[in-house]
């Protein structure tokens, strides 16, 4: 009888606690923070969500507007069409610019958004221009993390016709070949793994023809694939690493490759990393890589295992997608936060970071 009464009391207390926490959560938004935030976008003259070189993050700006408006009292969407629009933005001096834009091309003039904002002491989300340049060139990023004593697959850069015979190639087959720049696995397909000189030449030429880019050629790593979301605490600078494992089905050649079509069609499987040793190894690699590249606020580090299960830095994304992709899933699986909480976390970090005299 006493046990039954105790269980009922415990159940009642849990209901009361849940109601209190819910009320506290609701009250967070009853008194809005007196901050102004501008969600900055640029026109996209192509198809919806089509790739733009000057945009690192495609935002769902209307959804983000709704989320930020719950907490902050002045949130607007600003579309920058010309330099006058950009000057008007800095003259308004918002407390935060929330944007995935990298740079603007105004005629022959190229202006990096974050550089421009820093000149006016206006906080923004994400990393500075120097760090974004470190990350965008995959060859440069690998050299930087190597100096920080982080493992990465052996690599070299190749152009069509540069290597005349297989003996001239500086590393051994099998090789993995992808464009030197670009994200979302563009240029990665079933032909990216090369076991002979003929397939090597074909893939390097294909990348040049399709993307007008040189190829990054790496030692092929056959192990598991991971992505690690990074969140930086604005006051202390402490990093939280959020690893996820990414698995794909075998392609026509019997290989598991996270290629462009698989990402586009959302065919991969993403799971939490439950092995403590693997988790710690991934955490260490991701944090060291993020720091070496000069990352700030948030980002993502991609890691792949070799045949012995040793993690290697593959590439970084310091402007990871803010929809329901790998970064969001790393937050959800590791921190158990929802999409709104992720966006508010990023905005709060931006508001308290990158501040000089502002």
Work out whether strand 96-99 and strand 33-41 pair parallel, antiparallel, or are unpaired.
parallel
d(CA 99, CA 214): 29
Work out whether strand 215-219 and strand 175-179 pair parallel, antiparallel, or are unpaired.
antiparallel
Is the pLDDT at 242 greater than 60, yes or no? yes
| 275 & 134 share domain | yes
Residue 286: closest CA among 152, 138, 154? 152
d(CA 259, CA 237): 34
| 21 & 132 share domain | no
Edge-to-edge order in the sheet of strand 269-272: 269-272, 239-247, 225-232, 298-305, 311-317
Report the length, in residues, of the chain: 358
Tally Cβ neighbours within 10 Å of residue 16: 10
Contact between 330 and 303 under an 8 Å Cβ cutoff? The reply is no
Note the pLDDT of residue 1: 44
d(CA 320, CA 270): 16
**Cross-strand bridge partners of residue 228:** 243, 301
| 209 & 290 share domain | no
d(CA 84, CA 137): 31
Residue-number span of the structural domain to which 193 is assigned: 154-220
Q: Could you tell me the pLDDT band of residue 30, with boundaries at 50, 70 and 90?
A: low
| 163 & 282 share domain | no
Contact between 308 and 278 under an 8 Å Cβ cutoff? The reply is no
* CATH number for 351: 3.30.470.20
* Span 134-174, pLDDT tens digits: 998 899 999 999 999 999 999 999 999 999 899 899 999 99
pTM of the model: 0.84
Q: What is the mean pLDDT of the chain?
A: 86
Work out whether strand 103-106 and strand 269-272 pair parallel, antiparallel, or are unpaired.
unpaired
Contact between 354 and 120 under an 8 Å Cβ cutoff? The reply is no
d(CA 104, CA 79): 12
Is the pLDDT at 184 greater than 90, yes or no? no
* CATH number for 204: 3.30.1490.20
* Span 320-342, pLDDT tens digits: 989 888 999 999 999 999 999 99
Residue 190: closest CA among 239, 258, 141? 258
Q: Could you tell me the pLDDT band of residue 46, with boundaries at 50, 70 and 90?
A: low
| 145 & 289 share domain | yes
Residue 59: closest CA among 296, 339, 251, 291? 339
d(CA 59, CA 39): 9
| 2 & 72 share domain | no
Average pLDDT over residues 103-119: 93
Residue 299: closest CA among 196, 220, 209, 230? 230
Q: Domain tally for the chain?
A: 4
Note the pLDDT of residue 140: 95
| 80 & 7 share domain | no
| 236 & 298 share domain | yes
Average pLDDT over residues 32-48: 87
Note the pLDDT of residue 259: 55
Final residue of a structural domain among 106, 124, 142: 124
């Amino acid at each position: 009888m006493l046990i039954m009464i105790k269980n009922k009391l415990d159940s009642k207390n849990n209901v009361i606690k849940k109601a209190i926490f819910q009320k506290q959560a609701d009250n967070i938004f009853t008194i809005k923070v007196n901050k102004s935030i501008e969600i900055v976008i640029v026109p996209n003259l192509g198809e919806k969500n089509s790739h733009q070189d000057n945009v690192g993050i495609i935002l769902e700006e209307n959804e983000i507007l709704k989320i930020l408006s719950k907490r902050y009292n002045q949130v607007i969407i600003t579309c920058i069409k010309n330099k006058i629009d950009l000057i008007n933005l800095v003259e308004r001096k918002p407390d935060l610019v929330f944007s995935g834009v990298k740079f603007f091309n105004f005629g022959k003039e190229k202006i990096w958004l974050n550089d421009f904002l820093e000149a006016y002491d206006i906080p923004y989300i994400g990393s500075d221009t120097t760090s974004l340049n470190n990350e965008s060139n995959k060859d440069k990023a690998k050299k930087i993390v190597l100096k920080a004593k982080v493992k990465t697959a052996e690599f070299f850069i190749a152009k069509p016709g540069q290597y005349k015979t297989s003996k001239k190639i500086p590393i051994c087959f099998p090789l993995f070949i992808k464009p030197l720049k670009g994200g979302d696995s563009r240029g990665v397909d079933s032909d990216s793994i090369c076991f002979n000189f003929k397939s090597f030449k074909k893939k390097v030429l294909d990348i040049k023809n399709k993307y007008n880019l040189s190829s990054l050629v790496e030692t092929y790593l056959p192990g598991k694939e991971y992505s690690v979301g990074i969140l930086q605490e604005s006051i202390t600078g402490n990093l939280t690493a959020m690893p996820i494992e990414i698995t794909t089905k075998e392609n026509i050649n019997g290989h598991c490759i996270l290629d462009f079509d698989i990402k586009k069609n959302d065919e991969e499987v993403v799971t939490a990393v439950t092995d403590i040793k693997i988790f710690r190894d991934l955490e260490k690699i991701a944090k060291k890589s993020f720091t070496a590249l000069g990352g700030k606020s948030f980002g993502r580090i991609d890691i792949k295992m070799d045949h012995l299960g040793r993690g290697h830095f593959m590439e970084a994304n310091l402007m990871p997608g803010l929809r329901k992709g790998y970064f969001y899933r790393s937050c959800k699986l590791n921190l158990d936060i929802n999409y709104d909480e992720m966006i508010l976390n990023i905005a709060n970090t931006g508001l308290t970071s990158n501040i000089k005299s502002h």
